[in-house]
Structures are given as C-alpha cells and as structure tokens.
Amino acid sequence: MADAATTAALVFAMIATGRLLGAGTFFQLFEAVAVSVLAARRRTRVVAYSGFSTAVLGILLGGFGPVTQAVMAHVLGGTTGAALRRRRGVAGTIGMNLAVTWPAMSLISVGLLAVFTEIRSLWFDLARNMWNGVASILGRIGLEGAAAAGTDLLETLIGLWYVFIPLAQIPVVIVYALLVRRLGGQVLRRVDRSLGPAGDPAPSHGVGAPNPLPVRIHQARWRPADGVPWMGPLDLEITAGEHLSVVGPNGVGKTSLLHALARLGTAGFEFGDGTRDPGLGRVGGTALIGQNPAAQVLAPRVSQDVVWGILPPPGNDEITRVLSEVGLEGMEDRDTSTLSGGELQRLAVANSLLRRATVLLADEATAMLDPEGRAQVSDLLHDLSDRGTAVVQSTHRPEDTARGSTILTLGPTPAAVRDPVPTVPPSQARGEPVLVAHDVSHTHDAGSPWARPALHGVSLVLREGEMVLVKGSNGSGKTTLAWILAGLIRPTGGRVTFAGSELDGPRAQIGIAFQHPRLQMMRPTVRAEVAASSGDEDQVDDALDLMGLDPARFGDRLVDTLSGGEQRRVVLAGLVARGCRVLLLDEPLAGLDIEGRQLLARLLAVLRNRGLTIAVVTHDPEWGLGAADRTIELAGGRIVGPHRPGASDNSAPGTPTPTEGVHP
C-alpha cells in the first residue's frame, strides 16, 4: 500500500506538470516507467490500487483527460513491469503489450470519441484543416493529383475512424513498450540494489535472516542529553526468552539504551556481539515500540497498518486473533486517525506480534494505557518472553514491571509510593462560564461505511478559574471532546460557545497541549519555541520560570534533547505566554515519573489561581482528585458521572445540577 500510494502521488505530479507545460505525451512515458517499477516489484493488485488512486486525483485535477492519462500509464507500465518481473525478452514484452495495452488503449480511445461527438468532430476538422494546408502547397507545385488523392484518403479514414485509430495505435504501443522496458529496467536495477530484492519487507543490511541474539553490551557509558550526568558503566547480556524491565525516572537514558539495542544511535555503547544484524522492523528481527505510537502509524485502516511491511501479509484470521489479543477486537476497519493514544499503543504491539519479533523493545509501551490496559499489555509481554521472545521494556512506574522480569534500575531508585499528588484546595469562587458544550455529539467518518460515533449528547460548562478532570478509559471519547472544545474539529451535532459566542474554529485564547508534545513543537530551541507560540519574546523568560525551567539553562537547549516532561512544560510555557484563558491538556501524565506528575499538579494549581480555566484529560483514575474542582467521567462517548471534589471515580456520581451544566 505504501508503494502504491507513493507511485500514485508521483504519477499524479507528472500528469499535473505535463498539463502545465503542455507536454503531456512526453511525461506519459515517464509515468509509465514509474508504474513499471512498481509492477516489477509488487503484485498486480498493488498496481490497481495505484491506478485507482491516481484516477481519483485526476478527476480532481481536470476531468477525463487526466483520468485517461492515468489509466493508460498504469496499463502500459503495469504490463511492461509484469514482463520485467517474469523476465520476458523484447518479443515477450511487445507481445504482452499487444495483448493487453493495445486493446485497452483502443477501447478507451474509440469509446471516448464515440461518446463525445463534439470533440470527435473538432479533431476531424483539425485534421482536415491541416491537410488542406498541405494540399494547397502540393497544388502550387503541380501535384494536384496527389493532393486530391490525399483528400479522398483522409475522408475515407475519417469515415472509418473506429477502425483506423486502433490500427494506428499498434506502432505507438510497440515504441512506448520498448522505451518503458529500457528505462524501467535501468531504474529497477537501481531500486533493487538499494532496497533489496522485491518482496523483502525491509532493506537487508546483513547476510541472510536477521540474527539479533544474543545482545552483549560491555562497559557502556552514555549521556542522555547535554548537561545530564553520564550513565554507566553497564554490562548487559540479553538472550532468548529473557524479560528485562528498565526502570528509572525521566531523563536518565532509558530511551537511549533501547535505541542503542536497536542500533539507532550507538555512541558510547560497545557491543560484544560483533556485527550481529538486529533486523530492525523485519520479520523475525527486532521490533521497537516508541513512546509516540502515532509516529509509527502508516496506513489509514487498522487492518492495513498492522500488517504494514510484512510480506507475504498474514491472513485475516491471524490479524483478527492478534488484534483481539491486544484488546482491539472488532477494530479491523477503524480509521487509524480516530484511535486514542492507548489504542495506538496496542496497535503498535499488535504489529510487532505479527512480525514474530525475536527481540521486542517496548519504550514506555504502557504510558498511554488505562490501568486495565497496562495490566493486559504487561501480561502479554510476559507471555511473549515465555514463548522465547527477548523482551526489553522501559518504564518509570515500578508497578508496571511484568512478573518474573529482571529489573535494571537507572538513576535514583524510584520510591515505591502511589504517586501522591499535592492536595491543593479546590477554588471556592465559581467564575463565569467561559467554554460551554451544548449537547455535543460527534461521529468519525460521518456518512462513510466506516462511520463510528465517538460522543453522544455531551453538555458541560468550564468556568473561569476552575480545574476540571475529564477521566475515562482508552477510547471513551476524551481526546475527541478536547479537540472539539479547542475548535480543532467541528462536532457533527450540538455546538460549543466561547465567552458567549459560537466557536467555529481555533481561538488564540484556547490552548491545547497534545498527548505527544513533540508533535506541536515547531522550533529547534526552547526559547524559539516559546517565543513562536506566544508571539512575544518579552514573555519567554517569565513563562519558563513559571514552568520551573531556568531560562539560562534551558533557553538554548534543543527541544529534541528534552525529556517528555520538560517538553510538556515548554508547550505549557508557550500557551501561558500567549495569554490563553483556557488550557486543555490531553493526557499530560503520559510518560511522566512520580516527580513529574507532582510538579505538573503544582503548576496547574498556580495557573488556576491566576484565573485560568483548565481541563485535564486523563485515564488515570486517581491523579488530581484532591486538587480539582470537578471530575467528569466519560464512558462510551457519554458523561456517566460528575463527581464531587476528592471523590473516587468508583463512587456513585452525584446528581448533576443545572448550574454545573453537566447532563449524563
């Protein structure tokens, strides 16, 4: 699918360029060359996917002309590429194109001219005018007979156009087929040298199958970021069936260690296993589940993404079994853009299972999951090690380590406590309504066969100077609600008002912090990022100070060297410096250690006391209950329980009052 999409985009770009330059015939040759490479390396259905996609884009570009060009490029290129794949010679290539391309080209040409009679008449008139000019020249030099014979022949051919056009296309097909074969063959040889033989799911950097085990590290020392103490020395050996849990607070180098095990950035690491090939991303090799699962999504549908790059692809029964194993049963046809952060993490785990990874590296793979999901994935990782897979998982939560695993602690030993959040008395003053949702409903992919309701009749009021927790399990609709409140997507039902006026799009005074802070950081350094977000460089230092980030130490730091918690604080600093009245934080606790979670609670209390309205979206059932003014629980896209401050999420919900603006 990736190759099909890439080829479709390339062919469409050449069609558009050819029409812009008035050289469509010239560019059609190179369009067919691109398709021939795809056809030589992939199955016919992949070429069909590419052709359909290009034709749809062609309709958007300009109607039947681009569509016809797209179809013919895929027929000619697909047939010639199939001949290359089957190692047919020149005669075989010509024969296949005369059997496939010539009938298709003739049928399309004759069919279009039969339907569009005005265009046919225009072309014939152009042919007559051109010949009349030639006949006039012939008459002036005494060749009136030749001119008359030519005129009669032209009229005969026009009368039998439905026969003449197919016959005239035979030499055209032969010439194009030979040119595409010559050029496509040269490109194909270069592609095969770069990507390996057709059918490999990934480039082969070693000899034979991946051979990642055992992994041996000797006296390794590494530095997670500038200004951070060096870690190590570390001696480590990982064998088949071993389960290693790397535990430590944010910023101590857990991710650096896992990336080194995948051979992604090995500075400071000395491997004692020679040139062993980890086979990253290949079947039977090493699978890496990153902290940001959204960055690993490559296909629009769950069933497509979970098998991405696996050749031959697994059967439907195996896909269904693995998705059920990770808690995604029945989601084969879900649009990946509608998945929650926790569901995306489960999808990444499912992909690694289908790859039959020998080594599984899980970097905070449970950070986005609710308690039930964390337990499920932890048990799954333990079962994988029992089956012989070497599992290395990183976490800042000691309670997330799987049973029976070997624990490697980096940095200070984490305290075995239940994440005590500073109790900040809820605000006593009930300010004016700022952001109000009126009976909001939303359906993803509305009107399509994949339509999925996400929210049902949600009504709530966010008041000035209050902090509200929006809780619920993965997939309950929390993120969808946050995006609607931020004006990033419009609800399919109901409405949202901000400061009394209709919210019809993003507003500068409504700030949202995404689940993955790195995705909304657009500048290379901390100072530049906050300044760009706020639009006021004079506010940068004050905002960083407020977030506990020393401007002298952090101002010139590259954002990619920050820990996840530090990146979240940089995003918050930009929103505060911008003067936002409302802060919507989507899963801000994900990946934070105990110290980071406590610091976040204190920062939010300070911001609330300054009059900001804060809504925190989280799947954590206990965090913030002593500090929030209200807790709202979502389940199945519905509000099922507004809770009193400090109440447990498991307690019976109080009766909503009209002034709270919450209706289950």
Catalytic (active-site) positions:
587
**Distance between CA atoms of 486 and 386, rounded to whole angstroms?**
45
The strands making up 452-463's β-sheet, listed across from edge to edge, are: 452-463, 433-444, 493-498, 501-502
Left (φ > 0), alpha (ψ -120 to 50) or beta: where does 355 sit?
alpha
574 vs 477: CA distance, rounded Å = 26
- Give the residue carrying structure tokens 């939010």: 604
343 neighbors 474 (Cβ within 8 angstroms)? yes
Please list the alpha-helical segments (H only) found in 441-563: 478-485, 526-534, 540-546, 551-554
Q: Does an H or E element contain 243, and which?
A: strand 243-247
Instruction: Work out the number of other CB atoms within 10 angstroms of the CB of residue 117.
Output: 9
Which backbone phi and psi does 84 adopt, to 5 degrees? -65, -40
- Residues recorded for the chain: 664
Q: Is 606 exposed, middle or buried (0-12, 13-18, 19+ CB in 10 A)?
A: middle
Q: How do 501-502 and 493-498 pair as beta strands? A: antiparallel
Look up residue 414 and give its DSSP letter.
Answer: P
Other C-beta atoms closer than 10 Å to the C-beta of 194 total 8
- Token pair of 636 as six digits: 């199945």
Q: Which two tokens stand for residue 416?
A: 């075995």
Exposed/middle/buried for residue 664 (C-beta within 10 Å: 0-12, 13-18, 19+): middle
Sheet order of strands, 582-586 included: 510-513, 582-586, 613-618, 467-471, 630-635, 638-643
Q: Alpha-carbon distance 512 to 526, whole Å?
A: 18
Structure tokens at 387: 């089956």
Beta pairing class for 582-586 and 510-513? parallel
Strands 467-471 and 613-618: parallel
315: left (phi over 0), alpha (psi -120 to 50) or beta: beta
Distance CA 80, CA 35 (A): 9
Of the candidates 638, 564, 553, which has an alpha carbon nearest to the alpha carbon of residue 595?
Answer: 564
Tell me the three state secondary structure of residue 365: coil
**Count of beta carbons in the 10 Å neighbourhood of residue 399:** 13
Which residue has 């290379």 as its token pair?
Answer: 524
Number of Cβ within 10 Å of residue 442's Cβ equals 23
**32 contacts 77 by C-beta, under 8 angstroms:** yes
**Dist. CA 407–CA 392, nearest whole Å:** 10
Query: How is residue 428 written in tokens?
Result: 């006593």
Distance CA 39, CA 41 (A): 5
Within 8 A by CB and 6+ apart from 131, the residues are 150, 151, 154
